[in-house]
Structure 1
Amino acid sequence: MYETLVIETRGPVATVWLNRPEVHNAFNAKVIEELTAAFARLDVDTQVRVVVLAGRGKSFSAGADLNWMKAAGAASFEENLEDARRLARMLWQIAHMGKPTIARVHGAALGGGMGLASACDLCIASQRAVFATSEVRFGIIPSAISPYVIRAIGVRQAKRYFQSAERIDAARAFALGLAHEVVEEEALDAKIEEVVQALLAGGPKAQAAAKALIDAVADRPLSEAVLEDTAQRIARLRATDEAREGLSAFLEKRPAAWVPRP
């Protein structure tokens, strides 16, 4: 189905592989189109519970394809605007999936590659991973990725890295909050599997609601409206079949119905 991606499904886990290793998985218009379509399809696939985004070859993603960037430099404002809108929509599609997403980062995650890692809910990185918002060195800005990178590392750190384009090693990425875990490269898949199993123990509707809850309350003042909103959200969930099953499973000391059986 795809020219630039490979999707592997193992039970309830889908892995979306960026498959342009010859250019370090740099993305162009086709990659953006296919990532948008793939994540939209996986979001409505009821058999898929967790989505992992990974890269073939030596890098996760080195950002934008240089030939694509060169063509953009010769394009009109209107053409550049449409390109930018498609990129922004792709990142939004990843960030707003109703199920958990994990970035499996090894090697370079530069520019848009750092944006992809930030748009996913979790980032598991190898010790050899390197991140950067490198756009200013090309005379541009990390515009489309900025909401996700700033959410990951905060405004103060973004002030530095958006302007300096310094490389961020894996240990620094962990300290900044960009990477949730950093492990030896040979242990990367085992760590992801460990996290996947923890995610699969949660109720899928509750996880989607938890993501929506974070978006609803983050960076908002603790007002009466927020208190009422949070009360409404938990009240709605308590009456669902999933919540009743979760409580019954806990009391009966058994796995809930949504937990995959060995």
Structure 2
Amino acid sequence: MTETIRLNRDARGVVTLWLARTEKHNALDAQMISEITQVIRHLGQDKTVRVVVLAAEGKSFCAGGDLRWMQANMTARPEERAASARALAEMLAALDTCPKPVIGRVQGNAFGGGVGMISVCDVAIAVPDARFGLTETRLGLTPATISPYVIARMGAAKARRVFMSSRLFGAEEAVALDLIARVVAPEALDGAIEAEIAPYLTCAPGAVADAKALVHMLSKGADSALQEATISALVQRWESDEAGAGIAAFFDRKPPPWAL
């Protein structure tokens, strides 16, 4: 039984994984990270599942990492910080390597880790009003564990436009950055998702899984060494004075000390 996500499954083997922490704009905390990881691993091994749709309830797709969760990690023991960073990295890796096609249904804003979750979808479709941003540096953090997936999705040159500045950008720019495949009106979103699902239901499931594995092998995705490096980078940021000041300023509703 999960509390932060819910699943819908139809007779065709299409499973929709709904982020359901709407009161927190689907921000990722320890429980949600754990539940997504466990569920996506199970779905990946379930031979009756053909396609996974990653969707979200409420106004936001995913606001990124829950700042209370991050703040708690800053004061935790070193081994606890490392374990939290590893859990986030493993969730992203589980989504990225899921042998089923993963289709992102982006009905609202996605920031930070939300952009990372879109980046590990095989394809994602958004509505025109959705806004995006890698907003970590504004808080004294960095997009560490999501970085291999964001850069693989956008390419380094395009990622540089938005990776460090915390600048927000719209859905059309998200298409230009290759984060989103296309933009459709809200009332057309479910139809567009169904159009992405339908071709997979004519394909051999094992062949789809093997083809996806080939993409990972040939694109040299995030390996264990790179994953360890991003975990270390996130832990170091959590330990930094800038991160402490940035998150404290957020909760105090004041500008951080570096803001001009």
Fold agreement, TM-score > 0.5: yes
The 4+ residue runs of structure 1 with deviation greater than 4 A are: none
Query: For residue 168 of structure 1, what is the amino acid of its counterpart?
Result: F
Q: Is the alpha carbon distance of 1:46 and 1:219 closer, same or farther for their aligned partners in structure 2, counting shifts above 3 Å?
A: closer
Greater shift in the superposed pair: 54-63 or 202-211: 202-211
Q: Secondary structure at the match of 2:162?
A: helix
1:21-36 correspondence to structure 2 within 5 Å: 21-36=22-37
Aligned twin of 1:8: 8
1:246-261 correspondence to structure 2 within 5 Å: none
Aligned twin of 1:64: 65
Instruction: Report the Cα offset of residue 159 of structure 1.
Output: 2.2
1:24-173 correspondence to structure 2 within 5 Å: 24-173=25-174
Once residues 217 and 26 of structure 1 are traced to their aligned partners in structure 2, the CA distance between those partners, rounded to angstroms, is 32
Once residues 75 and 157 of structure 1 are traced to their aligned partners in structure 2, the CA distance between those partners, rounded to angstroms, is 35
Aligned twin of 2:248: none
Greater shift in the superposed pair: 73-82 or 128-137: 73-82
Query: For residue 4 of structure 1, what is the amino acid of its counterpart?
Result: T
Q: How many residues align?
A: 220
Aligned twin of 1:208: 209
Q: Secondary structure at the match of 2:38?
A: helix
Q: Secondary structure at the match of 2:18?
A: strand
Question: TM-score, length-normalised on structure 1?
Answer: 0.81
Query: For residue 67 of structure 1, what is the amino acid of its counterpart?
Result: R
Once residues 168 and 199 of structure 2 are traced to their aligned partners in structure 1, the CA distance between those partners, rounded to angstroms, is 31
Aligned twin of 1:256: none
Q: Is the alpha carbon distance of 1:136 and 1:198 closer, same or farther for their aligned partners in structure 2, counting shifts above 3 Å?
A: same
CA RMSD of aligned residues (A): 1.3
Cα deviation digits, residues 68-88 of structure 1 (max 9, x gap) = 122122223322111110000
1:168-183 correspondence to structure 2 within 5 Å: 168-183=169-184
% same residue: 45
Unmatched tracts of structure 2, length 5 or more: 222-260
Once residues 62 and 99 of structure 1 are traced to their aligned partners in structure 2, the CA distance between those partners, rounded to angstroms, is 25
Residues 159, 177 of structure 2: 8 Å contact kept = no
User: Which protein has the larger Cα radius of gyration, Structure 1 or Structure 2?
Assistant: 1
Query: For residue 69 of structure 2, what is the amino acid of its counterpart?
Result: W
Cα deviation digits, residues 1-33 of structure 1 (max 9, x gap) = 101011000121000001111111011000000
Q: Secondary structure at the match of 1:157?
A: helix
Aligned twin of 2:188: 187
Aligned twin of 2:242: none
Once residues 49 and 40 of structure 2 are traced to their aligned partners in structure 1, the CA distance between those partners, rounded to angstroms, is 11
Instruction: Report the Cα offset of residue 105 of structure 1.
Output: 0.6
Once residues 138 and 76 of structure 2 are traced to their aligned partners in structure 1, the CA distance between those partners, rounded to angstroms, is 20
Query: For residue 143 of structure 2, what is the amino acid of its counterpart?
Result: P
Once residues 22 and 102 of structure 2 are traced to their aligned partners in structure 1, the CA distance between those partners, rounded to angstroms, is 22
Higher RCO (Cα < 8 Å, 6 or more apart): 2
Instruction: Report the Cα offset of residue 219 of structure 1.
Output: 6.3
Question: TM-score, length-normalised on structure 2?
Answer: 0.82
